[in-house]
């Protein structure tokens, strides 16, 4: 059963355990969450001027739009202020910074309609981030930059928390992706040819859960959650920020969400920076995680199904 905790006072350790068990947390806007969103807004507004960023897709042709995103996204990702605001936000929401490592924030755009749905505005189909070489303890932090609605939000697919999906993650290696994938993103117009981990079987997208948080608020979930980009039919572009964290106590003993279907290789461990001093994980820890062979452990089947199987076996 999935539970959503709103503005919970749970201590961080309990919160991590609940996240690893498939629960989701939502937080109202905080001072530093708003500051991070305001930084993104200022940069977007400057880049798209004289247009309002959520409306700009209606005024620019696709090539112009892509050219703007090509500069805007890296500028935000590497803005020095982000490295100050993210630890401040993590601390504000109860994280022990000396154990919390974060990666650079991504600025995402989900355009309305079929204006642009590949490359720099890749519309993510249902996936788990753990199909992309993350530790099973990775947590995702997701913030809307402008107000969102149900028809331009992101969706969770909770029935797949316990249900493995046939997927191509065994073909995904983060080191290869880094070498080739990202640098080609700006060339992908109309059709995305980069190797992505993807489901290899039809998926049931209902029931799905869409959470509508305010700008500067946070949706916090395990990287193992099945989630997707909602087809945007709102008429405006959705701008959001996401970044990820891992806790070093959990990575050191490979504690995290259960791995039920990920076989991606390599690791994202080299990307995370410690909240206190922006130090990376040690080379040996990155190497250890990178060499680990993912072995999905299929979840225990629900009691009812086990009983049914036992009856069938006896018959």
202 contacts: CB under 8 Å, gap ≥ 6: none
- Give the residue with the Cβ less far from Fe ion, 27 or 243: 243
- Give the residue with the Cβ less far from Fe ion, 99 or 137: 137
Output the smallest distance, CB 223 to Fe ion, in A.
8
Q: Which region among 40-48, 126-134, 171-179, 256-264 touches Fe ion (by CB under 5 A)? A: 126-134
Q: Count the Cβ atoms, other than its own, within 10 Å of residue 276.
A: 14
Q: Which region among 122-130, 151-159, 262-270, 298-306 touches Fe ion (by CB under 5 A)? A: 122-130
- Give the residue with the Cβ less far from Fe ion, 69 or 139: 139
Say if CB 2 and CB 22 are below 8 A apart: yes
Q: Which region among 10-18, 113-121, 128-136, 258-266 touches Fe ion (by CB under 5 A)? A: 128-136
- Give the residue with the Cβ less far from Fe ion, 129 or 271: 129
Q: How far apart are CA 172 and CA 188, in angstroms?
A: 19
203 contacts: CB under 8 Å, gap ≥ 6: 126, 157, 160, 165
Output the smallest distance, CB 19 to Fe ion, in A.
15
**With binding defined as CB under 5 A, does residue 250 bind Fe ion?**
no
Q: Which region among 20-28, 129-137, 259-267, 270-278 touches Fe ion (by CB under 5 A)? A: 129-137
Number of residues that bind Fe ion (CB under 5 A): 1
Tokens 């503005």 correspond to what residue? 7
Say if CB 221 and CB 227 are below 8 A apart: yes
The four Cα atoms 5, 11, 17, 22 give a dihedral, to 10 degrees, of 10
Site for Fe ion in 37-76 (CB under 5 A): none
Distance of CA 142 to the CA centre of its chain: 7
Please tell me whether the peptide bond between 190 and the residue prior to it is cis, using omega within 30 degrees of 0.
no
Cα dihedral 161, 139, 54, 115 sign: negative
- Give the residue with the Cβ less far from Fe ion, 129 or 250: 129
Pair of tokens at residue 27: 């937080």
Output the smallest distance, CB 197 to Fe ion, in A.
10
Output the smallest distance, CB 128 to Fe ion, in A.
8
Q: Which region among 121-129, 143-151, 165-173, 270-278 touches Fe ion (by CB under 5 A)? A: 121-129
- Give the residue with the Cβ less far from Fe ion, 24 or 47: 24
Q: Which region among 125-133, 179-187, 287-295, 299-307 touches Fe ion (by CB under 5 A)? A: 125-133
Among 26, 47, 119, 129, binds Fe ion (CB under 5 A): 129
Output the smallest distance, CB 224 to Fe ion, in A.
11
**How would DSSP label each residue in 231-298?**
P--SSS-EEEEEEEEEEHHHHHTT-SS--SS---BS-SGGG-EETTT-PPPPHHHHHHHHHPPP---P
- Give the residue with the Cβ less far from Fe ion, 38 or 117: 117
Taking CB atoms, the residue at the shortest distance from Fe ion is 129
* Site for Fe ion, rule CB under 5 A: 129
């Amino acid at each position: 059963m999935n539970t959503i905790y709103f503005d919970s006072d749970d201590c961080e350790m309990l919160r991590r355990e609940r996240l690893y068990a498939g629960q989701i947390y939502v937080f109202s806007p905080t001072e530093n969450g708003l500051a991070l969103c305001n930084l993104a807004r200022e940069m977007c507004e400057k880049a798209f001027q004289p247009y309002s960023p959520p409306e700009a897709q209606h005024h620019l042709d696709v090539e112009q739009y892509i050219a703007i995103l090509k500069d805007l996204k890296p500028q935000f990702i590497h803005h020095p202020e982000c490295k100050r605001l993210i630890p401040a936000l993590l601390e504000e929401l109860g994280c022990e910074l000396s154990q919390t490592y974060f990666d650079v924030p991504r600025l995402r755009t989900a355009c309305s309609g079929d204006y642009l749905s590949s490359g720099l505005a890749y519309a993510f189909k249902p996936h788990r981030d753990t199909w992309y070489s993350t530790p099973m303890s990775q947590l995702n932090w997701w913030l809307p930059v402008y107000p969102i609605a149900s028809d331009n939000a992101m969706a969770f697919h909770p029935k797949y928390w316990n249900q493995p999906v046939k997927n191509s993650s065994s073909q995904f290696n983060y080191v290869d992706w880094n070498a080739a994938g990202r640098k080609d993103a700006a060339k992908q117009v109309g059709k995305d040819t980069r190797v992505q981990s993807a489901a290899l079987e039809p998926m049931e997208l209902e029931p799905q859960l869409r959470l509508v948080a305010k700008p500067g608020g946070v949706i916090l979930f395990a990287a193992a959650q099945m989630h997707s980009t909602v087809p945007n039919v709102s008429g405006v572009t959705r701008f959001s920020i996401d970044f990820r964290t891992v806790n070093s106590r959990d990575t050191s003993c490979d504690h995290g969400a259960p791995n039920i279907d990920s076989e991606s290789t390599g690791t994202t461990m080299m990307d995370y920076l410690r909240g206190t001093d922006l130090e990376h994980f040690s080379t040996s820890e990155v190497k250890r995680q990178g060499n680990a062979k993912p072995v999905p452990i299929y979840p225990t089947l629900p009691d009812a199904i086990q009983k049914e199987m036992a009856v069938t076996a006896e018959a």
